[in-house]
Amino acid sequence: MATLTLVEADEQSQRLVDAQPASDRPVGRIDLPALYDAHWRYLVRFAVLLVDDATSAEDVVQDAFVALHRNQTNLRDPDAALGYLRTSVVNLSRSVIRRRVVARKHLKVAEPEGTAGADHDVLLRDEHRAVLAAVRALPRHQREVLTLRFWSGLSEKEIAQTLGIAPGSVKSAASRGLATLQRVLGEQR
Amino acid sequence: MNDDELGRLLGDAFDQQARTVVGDHATPPPPRFATGHGELHPTNSWRRRWWAPVVAAAAVVAAVGIGAELSGGGRQPVAGVAPSPTHSPLSAYQAPAGAAAVRTTVTLRPTSAVGVGLPVVVALSRPITDGRAWQAATRVTVDGRPLPAAWYFERTGPAAAMTAHLRPQSYWPAHASIRVEVAAAGLSAGRGLAFADDVQVAFRTAAARVAVVDGDTHRLTLAEDGRRIGIFPVSLGADRTPTTQGVKVVMAKADHVCLTGPNYHVCNVRYTQRLTAAGEYLVSSPWSVWAIGQMNISSGSTDLRPADAQQLYRLLAVGDVLDYRNCQGPMTTAGQGYGDWNVPWAAWRTGGLVPTS
């Protein structure tokens, strides 16, 4: 053991037996059920922010895990697995939105205004509702960047890796998105 | 509104929307990737196939058959982790009359929600030589669904002859209600030894708070349910007193304590959170602010700026996880508080000091 010297004054030092030398971290195949339990909630929330409704978000996350399940022989590091899942969620969310646009074009009946998630918005505070509405009007990649930056808390480099774009593009998308939001929210005051 | 304020507003708005749709207590449905019922396919591809309606109809029929199984289990146990079917029934472990009694005490009975890294710890009144009956008598459920978990027997301080720690393969599920039952009374603990008590523990887990502490970048990065909520500069152990590597768990929190070592005795140290039995802490360290975020100069603890230490003291609960990387010290071992997560699962399941399978 290292000589760790912070010990509470009043506490008798404990005799400790090193039960098992554990210098190696678990390696080998990634533990998919454990990943699923650990990240399901986070990923569905992330997907909701991209596609706006819970059903599509859950589908997207299930499909992302199915894709990982097929590719897991190529992935050993659980951290890399989360990055892979995040990227899958972005890509699958784009397909959902694309399908939604196509479906809308062919729809004969009139559709109420607003996105699928709008019914949840009644539970939100006014300022949050306003900013979310403005975000939904942004170009797709600006919305993705802002979500990854301000909700997931990723760095520019990590966002670039997730979206498969250059860090410079992340920076410009973020600043353009923020500028648009400033303008739109400013006009509403 | 400047961009920082707008960023915070965005973060809050996103979080509101996400939490409104997926609450903290939302539980994952059974995963669609196969865990024992054959290969399933992604929704989008199988919906497009011509035979999809036929499969759907067949699935309804099949669901009636496996319905009972699914409603009981939710998720199927992971292959290789599930209790092996070759386990003898509990009756095989009955201790003969006249065996010496081994008393068991649960050392921690949490009253509020705990972090996802807290193992269940049981103290034994005397050393045992066989843990197989104890393991076989253990049932763990998470929100009513069974979860594979294994005991690991360790010899720790003078308070107990032996302790047993229980953990699943990876951290407990967050926002969950966990029940542990060990129906061990009367079962054998080795030749001439019998367990005297049954054990029942129930607790709730809080959000999954996991911090990564990097000795190279001098940063502590805290995530809650996967979302990054803060980055704090730190100073870790100096070269001669390196901080240990690996996963540690908040053991206890205390404001205003005295800390003593070979060359110092400081009192009124604030916002301390204990991480190892040997004495590594998260501490408010006004004396080393100049080094925090720059270089590692502490005597093993994680030095934080006073304001950061206060904030982390508020954010973290007992059982929350800190993963130390790029540190110069050896791996934190299972005997060091709750260093249990550094033992590989395959080694963990063998039971430590006594066999459990």
Spell out which residues of chain A touch residue B265, defining contact as CB-CB under 8 Å.
9
Query: What span, in angstroms and rounded, lies between the C-alpha atoms of B157 and B103?
Result: 17
**H helices present in B81-209, as ranges:** 132-136
Residue window 100-129, chain A: list those with CB within 8 Å of chain B. Answer: 117, 120-121, 123-125, 127-129
Quote the pLDDT of residue A33.
83
Query: What span, in angstroms and rounded, lies between the C-alpha atoms of A54 and A109?
Result: 23
pLDDT digit string, tens, across residues B191-231? 889 999 999 999 999 999 999 999 999 999 999 998 998 99
Q: Which residues contact B126 (CB under 8 A, 6 or more apart)?
A: B100, B102, B161, B162, B193
Spell out which residues of chain A touch residue B331, defining contact as CB-CB under 8 Å.
21-23
pTM of the entire predicted model: 0.64
Quote the pLDDT of residue A120.
52
Nearest CA in chain B to A3: B241
Across the interface, which of B22, B170, B343 has its CB nearest the CB of A34? B170
First to last CA, chain B: 62
Place of tokens 């998105």: A177
Residue in A103, A101, A71 with CA at minimum distance from that of residue A87 = A71
pLDDT digit string, tens, across residues B308-328? 999 999 999 999 999 999 998
Contact between B349 and B357 (Cβ < 8 Å) = yes
Query: What span, in angstroms and rounded, lies between the C-alpha atoms of B166 and B116?
Result: 13
Per-residue pLDDT 10s for chain A (189 aa) are: 333 333 333 332 222 222 233 333 344 567 788 788 888 889 999 999 999 888 899 999 999 999 888 887 777 676 688 889 999 999 999 998 888 877 776 655 444 444 444 445 556 677 888 899 999 999 999 999 999 999 888 889 999 999 999 999 999 999 999 999 999 988 876
Q: How many CB pairs under 8 A join A and B?
A: 251
Residue window 47-86, chain A: list those with CB within 8 Å of chain B. Answer: 48-49, 53-54, 57-59, 62-63, 65-69, 82
Q: What is the DSSP letter of B10?
A: H
3-state secondary structure A88-123: HHHHHHHHHHHHHHHHHHHCCCCCCCCCHHHHHHHH
Quote the pLDDT of residue B56.
46
Cβ of B10 within 8 Å of Cβ of A66? The answer is no
Spell out which residues of chain A touch residue B257, defining contact as CB-CB under 8 Å.
8
Angle at A44 between CA A41 and CA A45, to 5 degrees: 85
CA distance B223 to chain A (A): 9
Cα dist from B172 to B103, B190, B241, B321, B324, whole Å: 27, 30, 32, 11, 19
pLDDT digit string, tens, across residues B284-298? 999 889 899 999 988
Cβ of A6 within 8 Å of Cβ of B347? The answer is no
Quote the pLDDT of residue B263.
65
Place of tokens 């915070």: B8
Cβ of B22 within 8 Å of Cβ of A15? The answer is no
Spell out which residues of chain B touch residue A96, defining contact as CB-CB under 8 Å.
none
Hey, CA dihedral for A27, B76, B187, B197, is it positive or negative?
Answer: positive
Query: What span, in angstroms and rounded, lies between the C-alpha atoms of B10 and A127?
Result: 10
Q: How many residues can be counted in chain B?
A: 357
Contact between B308 and B233 (Cβ < 8 Å) = yes
Residue in A66, A189, A37 with CA at minimum distance from that of residue B171 = A37
Element (H, E) at A85: helix A78-106
Contact between B272 and B253 (Cβ < 8 Å) = yes
What SS3 state is found at A28? coil
Query: What span, in angstroms and rounded, lies between the C-alpha atoms of B3 and B297?
Result: 36
Query: What span, in angstroms and rounded, lies between the C-alpha atoms of B34 and B44?
Result: 16
Element (H, E) at B96: none
pLDDT digit string, tens, across residues B25-58? 777 888 887 654 434 444 444 444 444 444 444 4
Cα dist from A154 to A159, A180, B228, whole Å: 6, 21, 7
Residue B352 φ then ψ, to 5°: 75, -120
What SS3 state is found at B232? strand
Cβ of A22 within 8 Å of Cβ of B242? The answer is no
Contact between A32 and B6 (Cβ < 8 Å) = no
User: Beta-carbon neighbour count of residue B109 at 10 Å?
Assistant: 8
Quote the pLDDT of residue A63.
92
Residue in B231, B207, B230 with CA at minimum distance from that of residue B217 = B231
Cβ of A128 within 8 Å of Cβ of B26? The answer is no
Query: What span, in angstroms and rounded, lies between the C-alpha atoms of B144 and A152?
Result: 31
Cβ of B347 within 8 Å of Cβ of A127? The answer is no
The tokens for B326 are: 């790029």
CA distance A109 to chain B (A): 24
Quote the pLDDT of residue B250.
95
DSSP E strands, chain A: 7-8
Query: Looking at A16-25, B124-133, B175-184, B312-321, which range is the least confident one?
Result: A16-25
Label residue B96 by pLDDT band (50, 70, 90): confident
